[in-house]
Structure 1
Amino acid sequence: MDDISPQAFIDAVSGYQKTAAMKAAVALDLFTAIENENGELSRISRRVQASEHGVRVLCDYLCVQGFLQKESECYRLTPSTSAFLTTSSPAWMGSIVDFLAAPEMMALWLDDPVAFVREGGSVGLGNMAPDHPVWVKFARAMVPFVAPIAQNIAQHVGTWPQAPKRVLDIAAGHGVFGITIAKAFPGAEVVATDWQAVLEVAKENAAAAGVSARHRTIAGSAFEVEWGADFDLVLLTNFLHHFDRPTCVALLSKVRRSLTHGGRVLAVDFVPNEDRVSPPFAAAFAFMMLASTPRGDVYTLREFEEMGSEAGFSKVSVTPLPPSPQSLITFE
């Protein structure tokens, strides 16, 4: 029998403290300092230019939270912390703090949570305003999180009988998904759509990747812009969860009309089980959409199949993308 305890409640209502600790640790580049200074407190403090007392308390707190270990008064990184939170690691993803813990994002959840529960959604940043600077912040911050997923998708596309030649990247943001396809398939030309300010980030990334000649952009709303036709592949990554089912069906219908014969749509999204409470990350993502979009949600495989059918697709399949909590949804 489980012990009766208020611990889970206390942890939940003080969750902002974990966010604060992580923002401080990333801003100080604390984890890299711990790795380079052999976990010695005085050396770590000097390296990050912070008080020894403050660094000790922060490190102890991060030990409690599972990010660090403490051995004989020295701090050690866990394997996951070393992989994802040291700036010397190619898998570093500390930059996502700049988006997920941005003041304007945190305000969506904490200012008036009762309102978005009562209304079934939020008007906050969920209006997808084209000029909101948070989307540029998103484009710059989230690259480390999506880059491995983009590589996984390129490998998947590599198993197709024919390589894609004409690719549409909807709500491209940072452009990493389309750029990765362009790098993997030298014959592929990519059209990226999003708001103009965000597309400037995609252009920078395309130039850095050496694919600018095969990467062009069209600014505007995915629901209004004319992006052309005859695409072999349409990328619809991390976008459908922002909308309700009728809106998703309308977008999928527009996308289907843009495909060549035999063309496919690859969506990346969080796909919970039918119980909607597992697996944990995918299921919990629905709450993020409740707080940050007017009618966004996560959708099960059955719901994706139904939406795909309504939009005119004959087959919908879901493939996990480990170690990411996301899945690849293929519409054919």
Structure 2
Amino acid sequence: MPSPEKIFQIFNAYQQTASLKAAIELDVFTALAEGNNTAKALAERCQTSERGMRILCDYLVIIGLLNKQNGHYDLTPESAVFLNRRSPACISSVVKFLNSPYVMDTFKDVAGVVRRGGTLMGEEGSMAPEHPMWEEFARSMAPMMAPAAQMIAEIVGEGDWKVLDIAAGHGLFGIAIAKRNPKAQIFALDWPNVLKVALENAQAAGVADRYHTIAGSAFEVEYGSDYDTVLLTNFLHHVDTGTCENLLRRVHRALKSGGRAVTLEFIPNEDRVSPPAAAAFSLMMLAGTPSGDAYTFSEYDRMFTAAGFSRSELHPLPNMPQQVIVSYKE
């Protein structure tokens, strides 16, 4: 007789999300890093009831985010690195986007989404012009994207590059290239409200004098020409393959001969169910967009070839759920 335990765990999985969000809001992980390792000490530091803190921390132990021994709590390696606000790799701000009302609301009626074959959040979903969620994305998701930005800057390498960053968001990808290459010129394309965040980050990084903006829709505005590199980070998954190909033709025209398109994406294996993080991203696209998907490398390869690129290479990123595709223009 099989056990229904896994099914009950999935029914109750919302409690994990809610508890992690509460612990971030209460600053539990940072408080533990400071040495407050009992329910009483944590309650005093975080200004909560002792009973509430004990039950919350016990639950965080159960789901693998804390350790407990002899009534004392401690951070796990993952929570110490990624959830302590004083850690340079802290990603706790992503909760503001991933658990925002808009993103959560896309999953209120998954049966309806499946019946329709796309989002129920308006005709364009998250792709609506100047959608306010993208400014929150730019502010909240930057810490999570910083390692990938550094890896892409290494792939791009050294040179006096002219770079177009499509759907630049927080701007970290272009900024990382600019910091590595003192003569690189970055042209960031996004909605005006999002470009404000990218400019703030460019100013903070000391590259604002080489950071230029192009405001508007990536499907409509003029890109300019003679780019060495075009960045397409976390963007193509929002639309169908035909729309991707049309945009990639524009990218191909904007590149100089020998130029490269550098794409960062969640790329599942051909079975479309592995690896889990990349494969599961297709459900987010189903719920949040009219026609987006998590495409396989073979699908991306066909799209880039149809747009005129001579070849594409896949570059896995260590400890990241995403991969990089580098596509070349002859």
TM-score, normalising length: structure 1: 0.96
Given residue 119 of structure 2, which amino acid in structure 1 is its aligned partner?
S
Q: Structure 2: how far apart are the matches of 1:27 and 1:164?
A: 43
Q: Structure 2: how far apart are the matches of 1:83 and 1:6?
A: 34
Q: What's the secondary structure of 2:129's corresponding residue?
A: coil
In the alignment, what sits opposite 1:117? 114
Q: Structure 1: how far apart are the matches of 2:188 and 2:156?
A: 18
Q: Structure 2: how far apart are the matches of 1:127 and 1:104?
A: 9
Please say if 1:53 is aligned against 2:51: yes
Please say if 1:200 is aligned against 2:196: yes
Question: Does structure 2 retain, via aligned residues, the 8 Å contact 1:37–1:44?
Answer: no
| 2:215 aligned to which of 219, 222, 244 | 219
Q: Structure 2: how far apart are the matches of 1:194 and 1:138?
A: 12
Given residue 229 of structure 2, which amino acid in structure 1 is its aligned partner?
L
In the alignment, what sits opposite 1:68? 66
Q: Deviations over 1:199-234 (max 9, x none)?
A: 000010010001110001111000000020000000
* More displaced 10-residue stretch of structure 1: 116-125 or 171-180: 116-125
Question: Does structure 2 retain, via aligned residues, the 8 Å contact 1:139–1:198?
Answer: yes
Q: Structure 2: how far apart are the matches of 1:299 and 1:133?
A: 26
In the alignment, what sits opposite 1:126? 125
Question: Does structure 2 retain, via aligned residues, the 8 Å contact 1:252–1:311?
Answer: yes
Question: Does structure 2 retain, via aligned residues, the 8 Å contact 1:164–1:233?
Answer: no
In the alignment, what sits opposite 2:101? 103
Question: Does structure 1 retain, via aligned residues, the 8 Å contact 2:252–2:309?
Answer: yes
In the alignment, what sits opposite 2:252? 256
In the alignment, what sits opposite 1:139? 138
Question: Does structure 1 retain, via aligned residues, the 8 Å contact 2:278–2:321?
Answer: yes
Please say if 1:289 is aligned against 2:285: yes
Given residue 163 of structure 2, which amino acid in structure 1 is its aligned partner?
V
| 1:186 aligned to which of 182, 185, 197 | 182
Q: Structure 1: how far apart are the matches of 2:311 and 2:234?
A: 20
In the alignment, what sits opposite 2:8? 10
In the alignment, what sits opposite 2:38? 40
Which runs of 5 or more structure 1 residues have no equivalent in the other structure? Answer: none
- Cα deviation for residue 34 of structure 1 reads 1.3
Q: Structure 1: how far apart are the matches of 2:232 and 2:74?
A: 40
Given residue 100 of structure 1, which amino acid in structure 2 is its aligned partner?
L
Q: Deviations over 1:114-159 (max 9, x none)?
A: 121111111427342233321111110001110000001111222x
Q: Structure 1: how far apart are the matches of 2:309 and 2:278?
A: 24
Q: Deviations over 1:255-300 (max 9, x none)?
A: 0000011000000001111101101100111111111111000111
- Cα deviation for residue 35 of structure 1 reads 1.9
Q: Structure 2: how far apart are the matches of 1:127 and 1:41?
A: 41
Question: Does structure 2 retain, via aligned residues, the 8 Å contact 1:272–1:300?
Answer: yes
- Cα deviation for residue 304 of structure 1 reads 1.0
| 1:323 aligned to which of 271, 294, 319 | 319
Given residue 273 of structure 2, which amino acid in structure 1 is its aligned partner?
V
- Cα deviation for residue 196 of structure 1 reads 0.5
Question: Does structure 2 retain, via aligned residues, the 8 Å contact 1:256–1:313?
Answer: yes
Q: Structure 2: how far apart are the matches of 1:267 and 1:256?
A: 13
In the alignment, what sits opposite 2:154? 155
Q: Structure 1: how far apart are the matches of 2:168 and 2:230?
A: 11
- Cα deviation for residue 164 of structure 1 reads 4.6
In the alignment, what sits opposite 2:19? 21
Q: Deviations over 1:82-116 (max 9, x none)?
A: 00000110000000000000112111112x11121
Q: Structure 1: how far apart are the matches of 2:15 and 2:66?
A: 16
* More displaced 10-residue stretch of structure 1: 35-44 or 132-141: 35-44
Given residue 65 of structure 2, which amino acid in structure 1 is its aligned partner?
F
Q: Structure 2: how far apart are the matches of 1:6 and 1:38?
A: 38
Q: Structure 2: how far apart are the matches of 1:6 and 1:292?
A: 30
Q: What's the secondary structure of 1:39's corresponding residue?
A: coil
How many residue pairs get matched?
326
TM-score, normalising length: structure 2: 0.96
| 1:308 aligned to which of 297, 304, 307 | 304
Given residue 4 of structure 1, which amino acid in structure 2 is its aligned partner?
P
- Cα deviation for residue 249 of structure 1 reads 0.6
Q: Structure 1: how far apart are the matches of 2:240 and 2:278?
A: 17
Q: Structure 2: how far apart are the matches of 1:13 and 1:293?
A: 25
